[in-house]
Amino acid sequence: MLLGASVTSQIGSYIGAVIVVYIVLLLLFLLTNLLLGFGVRPPYARWSDAVLSFLAEVSQPYLRIFRKFIPPLGPVDLSPMVAIFVLLILNEVIRSLLNA
């Protein structure tokens, strides 16, 4: 019985860590888009292009789900905020299910 509780606790911790890392990647993507929107252009370098394209490839598929249902309000896009909120709720639900 104790071994099963330890395994579920470790699984919950792992899933929580993955969700937190994904939230950080989403925030980095949003920050880089905000900076690029204000006209801050990084000098062309292979590494910066690779980082920006990685962030876009990782976060765009998830954000696209919410952009279908939440239209932008002028220049303001609320879908990333809703997407992060959904991830936080999912993290709490998974944590409560595995601790129960």
What are the tens digits of pLDDT across the range 24-43? 999 999 998 888 878 877 77
Indicate the number of domains in the chain: 1
CA distances to 5, 26, 39, 45, 99 from 55, rounded to whole Å, are 35, 8, 18, 16, 32
What range defines the domain where residue 43 resides?
A: 2-99
pTM: 0.84
Residues counted in the chain: 100
Task: Confirm if 99 and 12 have CB atoms less than 8 A apart.
Answer: yes
What are the tens digits of pLDDT across the range 68-80? 998 888 778 888 9
**Residue 97 to residue 69: CA distance in whole angstroms:** 28
Residue found by looking up tokens 């880089």 in the block: 32
Q: Partners of 93 in the beta sheet?
A: none
